[in-house]
Amino acid sequence: MSDYDWKFSTIGGKNRVNIKSGEDIKHLGELDQKLWTVLSSPVVGLEFDAKTLKMLDSNNDGRIHVHEVVKAAEWITSVIKDPDMLLKKEDTLPLSAFNTDNPDGARLLASAKQILKNLGLKKDSISVADADDSVAIFAKTGLNGDGIITVQSTKDEELQKTIEACVASMGGKADRSGLMGADADSLEAFYKALADYSAWQKKAADDKSIFAFGDNTAAVYDIVNQIKAKVADYFMRCKLAVFHAGSVTALDVSVARIETISDKDLSACADEISTYPLARISANNTLPIDERINPVWQATIGKLRALALDKEFEGASEITEEQWNAFVAKLAPYEAWLGEKAGAEVEALGLDQVNAILKADRKAELLKLIDDDKALESESLSIDEVAKLLHLYRDFYTFLCNFVSFRDFYDPEGKAIFQAGELYIDERCCELCIKVPDMGPHATATSLSGMYILYCNCVDKITGNTMIIAAVMTDGDVADLREGKHGLFYDRKGVEWDATVFKIIDNPISIRQAFWAPYRKIGRYIETTIEKRAAEKDSKVMADMTAKVDNAGKDAGAEKKKPFDIATFAGIFAAIGLAVGAILDAITDMSKSVSDWSWWKWLILVAVIMLVISGPSMILAWLKIRKRNLSPLLNANGWAINASVKVNMTFGATLTEIGKSPLKAEPDPFADKAPWWKKLIYWLIGLGLVFLICWRTNLIYSLTGYLHVEKEQPAAVVAPPSEPAE
């Protein structure tokens, strides 16, 4: 059990620890974990500095746990002199605030001074912006501890060119200075590629059979690969023509195929013509290499003749299949050599530069530069730690107010880090809006929260970005809220998003709303019923009229009009009379029982009736509202909430702002005007009710005393004395 004197406050229906001093932060590790409001939180989806959250997530698992917060608290309170400065939440730390009695504090102070020196700044404080600009910090440093060397890492021009060649061939690695450089692995791979490519090229130089056609070998090889299949097809057709003399016509290009394109622009039919045989079928099984070749292939064969065929078959206009196969066989060593190609990564450098780099043999010097760079790793990491210190110095107290306690959420002037922005909808502004990364967990969480929630799809029409929010409605009415309703959402940066409600979790918002809920339900039921009956009646009338029109003339004279049955109508009117009489009798009986009631008793009766109707709804609403809890929603977003986060009626009213109209407004010139006969009916009904109430409550007599006439009591009649009996 901790001996530290913790102070607590009741916030949101729970006793939560107060973090009001640097000493509180320093002793955070002594606070019983059961008293923390949050046990873990996600790193993403929060309205908080992303770099700070990543720094707090020391094991990089995407979550921040209690032990990581404690570790950060112990570290930051040990490297600054006065932990109370953390409560200021400033982004600039004076150099005099570093605790030099602590080895880490002294090291961080030296790194902070080095940062300012690298930036060319002369001041006695360092800011978050200074420490965050790593490119500017290391822009002029050749060696910076990341194990990557760049052209700035040496002044030797030959080494600089070698580094550039390595980056160009193997792909660069980003150095802290912002330049692209090479590390040990890429340098080793570079020199291996150089050696492999050089050896591969040397093999071709030593084996004369590889380049059988000299410098033209590569071009000849490419052309042969283009026409190899076409030549093989031609010689097979010639063999079939020898096998069956009558097949020549079928094997050659038919006149009918040419006729199909003869009326077209033949220059645009190259694809079709290229499918024809390479040349006309020859019975002597030779391939012409002159103008007798298929027009589409003439240029290709002509280029091959210029490169090699004229030298191999000087003066020949035809070649046999054996000659062609022998010609192609000369390319086999070249093809095998291509298959053995190695070091292709450095081919773009050219063989001369490759051999020059290998001959210089300065690989060891480059690896030594990398080792020298790595030797500064601790110093560079110390510079990174300065950035971490400044981020925590500015943000750590805010994070504690959203993790250890929920003070920021219950602060009317502040916002919690999970509050994403404000939703404007239905003349209200909802301030309790939470981003929803995954709707799946929310399916069960919403029923546990007891809150009225609007799930909205939000779209930024400028960037095309989308997101889902859960907006909690805590005040006002819900009559006009429905799925599909549009609103505007403003995130914490002020960016405007178009919001559309796609799901509503219906729970009571307030006692006032619950009071009127039964009447609205009754009204909706009556309205729905009337509409339904009217629709049914309309359908029936239309069906009857349609049937009569369809049957007009068919049944004319078939049936005679039924005579008026006076007995039927007499029965109907009798039934109506009995019903009206029963109602009047009931009213008369009730009026006799309450004929002596005062006016205030009538008001009490009305109030009791309304209470009977609205009471159950209000009680149910009160029970639900007092249990409203934000914890299930946060748990659905990945938070491990250790204590309930109640949203009672008083606090809830602050989370939804209702628009208020001015007291004075110009009349609506287009307001609906009731017809005179409706007004007359309303007046007659109103006057009748007033007269009935006044008559039954003797209000008229009490207000007009001179009409009140007390009834005189009759004089007592004294019976005459009885005569004595005779």
Q: Is residue 534 part of a domain?
A: no
Total domains, the chain = 4
What is the model's pLDDT at position 520?
A: 66
How many residues in the chain?
A: 726
240 & 316 share domain: yes
Same domain? 87 vs 160: no
How far apart, in Å, are the Cα atoms of 326 and each of 15, 315, 321, 336? 96, 18, 9, 16
| Same domain flag for 290 and 315 | yes
Of 273, 299, 330, which marks where a domain is finished? 330
Task: Give the tokens for residue 226.
Answer: 């283009």
**In the structure encoding, which two tokens stand for residue 113, read together?**
């001074």
* Residue 581: predicted pLDDT: 53
Rounded to a whole number of angstroms, the distance between the first and last alpha carbons of the chain is 115
Structural domain for 254, as ranges: 214-330
- Partnered with residue 320 across adjacent β-strands are 286
CA-to-CA distance for 211 and 195, rounded, in angstroms?
A: 21
Domain annotation covers residue 318: yes
Three-class DSSP labels, 190-206: HHHHHHHHHHHHHHHHH
Over the chain (726 residues), the average pLDDT of each successive run of 10 is 83 87 94 94 94 94 95 96 95 95 93 89 93 80 84 90 94 87 93 94 90 92 93 91 84 86 88 90 85 91 91 89 92 93 92 93 93 82 89 96 92 91 94 93 81 94 93 86 94 94 86 64 69 76 75 54 49 51 51 55 65 66 72 92 86 85 68 67 72 58 49 49 48
Residues 370 and 383 in one domain: no
DSSP 80: B
Q: Is residue 483 part of a domain?
A: yes
Strands (E), 373-493: 421-425, 428-430, 433-435, 452-459, 466-473, 486-491
Residue 194 lies in a domain: yes
In whole angstroms, give the CA distance from residue 408 to residue 403. Answer: 10
* SS3 label, residue 81: coil
* Structure confidence at residue 592 (pLDDT): 52
Both structure tokens of 383 = 């510079």
Judge if 247 and 370 occupy the same domain.
Answer: no
Residue 234 near residue 278, CB atoms below 8 Å: yes
Angle at 577 between CA 540 and CA 609, to 5 degrees: 85
- Looking at residue 434, its amino acid is I
- pLDDT value at residue 112: 92
Q: How far apart are CA 683 and CA 687, in angstroms?
A: 6
Give the CA angle between residues 593, 598, 599 to the nearest 5°: 115
- pTM exceeds 0.85: no
Residue located via tokens 């009649």: 717
Q: Are residues 48 and 14 in the same domain?
A: yes
481 occurs within a structural domain? yes
Inside any domain, residue 572? no
In a domain, 403, yes or no: yes
Residue 353 sits in the same domain as residue 405: no
Is there a single domain that holds both residue 195 and residue 84?
A: no
Same domain, residue pair 368 and 389: no
Place of tokens 């009338």: 541
Question: Is there a single domain that holds both residue 259 and residue 182?
Answer: no
Cα separation values, 387 from 39, 80, 111, 131, 148, Å? 26, 14, 10, 5, 21
Regarding whether 502 and 633 lie in a shared domain, the answer is yes
Nearest Cα neighbor of 125 from 98, 151, 104, 149 is 98
Residue 604 lies in a domain: no
The predicted structure's pLDDT at residue 698: 56
Assess whether 43 and 173 both reside in one domain.
Answer: no
Distance, in Å, from the CA atom of 523 to the CA atom of 516, rounded to the nearest integer, reads 11
Q: What are phi and psi of 198, to 5 degrees?
A: -65, -45
Q: Give the count of alpha carbons within 13 A of 647, CB side only.
A: 25
Closest CA to 386 of 639, 564, 119: 119
What are the structure tokens assigned to 261, written together? 């394109």
